[in-house]
Structure 1
């Protein structure tokens, strides 16, 4: 009954009396004895009836007729079923622009939830129907402001179509962004008011998905992986373990197992089979720092790399990283900020006479940092690193390259080398004999 009462807000002025009568007739709120005259009737309509259509002699006929009108009009006024253009016309433009702007801001943010508390049914229907059918964002009944915001939402959803998936429940105005798991895409979900129940159901589905993926991994592979990783963990002479040519399921299994061993609720395996490995990882994590990496080679085969370094020992003494950066054109100066004082107190100048080409201009702050860094590394080391890096990049059979027992400055040089060859101004920061190797690296790394 409350819902029927709420729909009275949509009545148009043209049919307001008819809708009011039919609604009251349905609810039984009309007192016929007190509202209908008993002496005579005028020729004009009284509450929708003519003089001949009194409730006393035509009760059944009028009841059936207005019940039918009520059903038809209620369907037309139901925000869940009415034409979306009509629903937009009934809503205030300020409300629509405010809610559309909130949704756009939410999608672009890192927030995980946005709530619309105490939302009315017709406003909820507006949100749900947008989430159900993105074509409603192209509604011509929108004013100019709403059209601009809707266009921005459509563009954002199109650009992120592989990241965001919309689903909804028609009981509340709460919108939530959930990350299913490591291998899944984030979801934008219009949830019901029973959010806790939906969260539990989502977690249950994720758990079943992980369990199903684990079941696809053979027992022989699990046993072999357990033995190999255990031997690696206990062997102090080894610092790197690689698993090449893995299937996607095997790679996901190993990655989840090794990265979530200290989180039982997120672990990939709780069976007795892998308990010794999980316990060993927990124990040896007190001594070693483990790093896990998952990547794909040129043949689209997955491989897992596990590295361990002694805690308390500088991680720069055991550098292991691919020189193919996802964004090689971006120079990373974060580590260079730690030694501003050294640069300011050094003898690094804008012009050099020790075999380094002169750029012919004043060095900026970052260039001075790089020049100071390169001055701390010998020419032989630079030549060796450049040649070794070039050989590694050109060899498709190798998945990694190692540089061991490095000094702090040598390690920093390697980190900067990640994007250094792609800079056209890099040649004046390094010795002339290194320039040909830099040029070769640049030709190989350029897209």
Structure 2
């Protein structure tokens, strides 16, 4: 164990009449492949104080016991573990441990930042077991036996998962393979006030009895933001949603500005969600599904706004019987050879300003909340090339309804939306 640098912080301590500076330590750790339980990294982590940091040199780190850490920083002086993104530090579990040991467990940690590390193997890649103000960013989580990142042990809040790549999950036999799993299955623990942003999640393997959802937020968890993620191919050995939010918490979850493709359902919501400015294409079951679920049979407070959906068996399914506070507005639905919208409306549900091309089921084409579109190739710039902005003569322009609860002020590209009757339907203004 060796310290790279002692960095003096601005906090002064009075020691026997002299002013002493509280010192933070910046450690440097070399790679190691060992059968020991307490390798150099584990020994250093066990003694970290607020403000300390650990730099992991490029290479392979592997050992055969639990990598179970509790770290506690403060808001002003977080604990930081980091590596160079161009020269990865790889924390690995051997294949024989794929069903036995998780790669990393963070237990009741507070104010911790983990940046630029690669986690390869393990049953779960990273399991966050309670705690708060935890950041995992700029990393890779791959080749896991089950889920890549799980936050499902006890109540946890203010977790940030940002700019990570998550892939090749569910490699153990008969195992689930979610990308991010937040909250307990039965709601006995919840995740709140957390941010899942700008992650690339792809090629997840599941089992028909256990899903390969891209991001799954369980019942009771609320106040979370799912933003700017690219999620694709949750179809290996099973068909589960790219994003699935159950609701049932005290606050809504926000799902916005995501690009989702080759999912089962691209977005599935039961309750308590704002779904806006998302781009969805090539879902195998449905683009957007809004309906009750056995874990939350009381759907309500769902606002689905300004999304663009292309090429699915059904672009959108709304099963809103006995639901309250449900809004489906300003969405662009292009399922030309299939069903654009399948709806069972609630007396308390609102459909406003939605464009469609394809078939309708359970709802009249004369519904005042609908207007017809031409194909996506005509209405959008070049969807086959990933350009989803409206074409110059698109019918999407000047058709959005302004007075809609939760209407986004900006579009998918964070450009201000027009108003006063000039706003555009769909994700891009």
TM-score range, shorter chain: under 0.3
Richer in strand (by share): 2
Q: Which structure has the higher relative contact order (CA within 8 Å, separation 6+)?
A: 1
Instruction: Output the TM-score relative to the length of structure 2.
Output: 0.22
TM-score normalised by L of structure 1: 0.22
Q: Which has the larger radius of gyration?
A: 1
